[in-house]
């Protein structure tokens, strides 16, 4: 029997509830499909930071490196720990430490889910560059606390980084509807984004079977609302991809349905899978968090591990659940009830 080791980081707030739900479903799917999942839970979170002064231990990356994949819940508790501390102390170091340069986020309506748009016929795969660009962390502040204070944030774009995310996107487009949208703001950012456009044209020449269109970020944001069915694979920088995928979550019914994967395409290190939503401290104690995004992220993990049939089984169970009206309205059912409904449909 095949067996996979999974590092589980529930994190903060509803992250703990939805991760428990996803893990229960994933274990059941593994049993049905004839393989095993072995999980080890790590308590790294804002609570861990308050106890230790760090979001994870100094050897945290080394500890995670031995696992086949990482399942993350949600990290953040702004009232207790600044978001800049929690993000740069846990999530970003994992993404960068394991070269998880492709952040993959699917946006489509599950059956029975009502989105805010007139159209329901869209299926967008957003691919966000995940390790450099606007989130490189290069910059600094001087003269802090004085009228002369200066803050500098430097975006870092490398040819290797831009080319590899574009090639990843083109490869995904080849498996889908053979359309790729490359997103920049090159009319305003005349160095980094003009550079991105130039690399896009060079890479596109190697994929003559894929229709490639370049968009400015504001134009594609409007297109995602007005004509989302016209889009297939969307590739964007770290910041633009982050913003566009929250818009993608909105048109697919909300953050409770938005899944994501942080992929190391070379498979030289573990990839990480997480729902797009945050820790939602305001509902963390209610037991009503929607676990669908976390379960969908888990299905993406199974597919990445090579268990495509099990991944399809989980997705079919999710779709059957939402088709019956369960899990489609935020707060209507409890987390446990949605999880039970998915489990009952796995077989």
Catalytic residue among 12, 17, 20, 135: 135
**Which pair of tokens denotes residue 187?**
């009319």
Catalytic residue among 17, 49, 185, 232: 185
Catalytic residue among 17, 20, 232, 242: 242
Q: Is 207 a catalytic residue?
A: no
Residues 6+ apart with CB under 8 A from 7: 39, 40, 42, 63, 64, 67, 69, 70, 71, 270
Radius of gyration of the chain (CA): 20
CB atoms within 10 A of CB 23: 21
Q: Is 135 a catalytic residue?
A: yes
| Of 9, 129, 1, 15, nearest in space to 69 by CA | 9
Q: Is 246 a catalytic residue?
A: yes
Catalytic residue among 50, 218, 309, 332: 218
Entry field: residues in the chain = 347
CA atoms within a 13 Å half-sphere pointing along the CA-CB vector of 334 = 6
* Cα–Cα–Cα angle for 282, 23, 37, rounded to 5 degrees: 155
Active site residues: 135, 185, 218, 242, 246
């Amino acid at each position: 029997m095949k067996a996979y080791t999974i590092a589980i980081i529930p994190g903060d707030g509803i992250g703990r509830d939805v991760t428990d739900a996803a893990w229960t479903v994933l274990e059941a799917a593994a049993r049905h499909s004839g393989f095993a999942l072995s999980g080890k839970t790590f308590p790294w979170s804002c609570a861990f930071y308050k106890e230790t002064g760090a979001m994870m231990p100094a050897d945290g990356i080394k500890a995670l490196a031995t696992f086949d994949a990482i399942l993350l819940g949600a990290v953040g508790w702004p009232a207790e720990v600044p978001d800049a501390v929690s993000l740069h102390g846990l999530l970003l170091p994992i993404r960068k430490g394991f070269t998880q340069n492709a952040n993959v986020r699917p946006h489509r309506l599950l059956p029975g889910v009502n989105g805010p748009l007139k159209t329901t016929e869209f299926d967008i795969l957003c691919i966000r560059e995940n390790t450099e660009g606007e989130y490189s962390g290069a910059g600094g502040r001087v003269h802090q606390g004085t009228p002369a204070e200066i803050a500098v944030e430097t975006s870092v774009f490398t040819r290797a980084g831009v080319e590899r995310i574009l090639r990843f996107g083109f490869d995904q487009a080849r498996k889908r509807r053979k359309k790729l949208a490359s997103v920049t703001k090159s009319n305003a950012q005349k160095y980094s984004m003009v550079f991105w456009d130039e690399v896009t044209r060079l890479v596109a020449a190697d994929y003559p079977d894929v229709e490639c269109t370049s968009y400015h970020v504001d134009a594609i944001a409007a297109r995602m609302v007005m004509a989302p069915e016209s889009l297939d694979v969307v590739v964007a920088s770290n910041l633009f991809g982050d913003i566009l995928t929250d818009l993608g979550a909105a048109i697919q019914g909300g953050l409770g349905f938005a899944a994501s994967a942080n992929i190391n395409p070379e498979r030289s290190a573990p990839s990480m899978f997480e729902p797009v939503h945050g820790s939602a401290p305001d509902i963390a104690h209610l037991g009503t968090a929607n676990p669908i995004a976390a379960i969908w992220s888990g299905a993406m993990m199974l597919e990445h591990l090579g268990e495509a049939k099990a991944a399809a089984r989980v997705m079919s169970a999710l779709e059957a659940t939402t088709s019956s009206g369960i899990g489609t309205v935020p707060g209507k059912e409890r987390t446990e009830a949605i999880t039970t409904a998915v489990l009952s449909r796995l077989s």
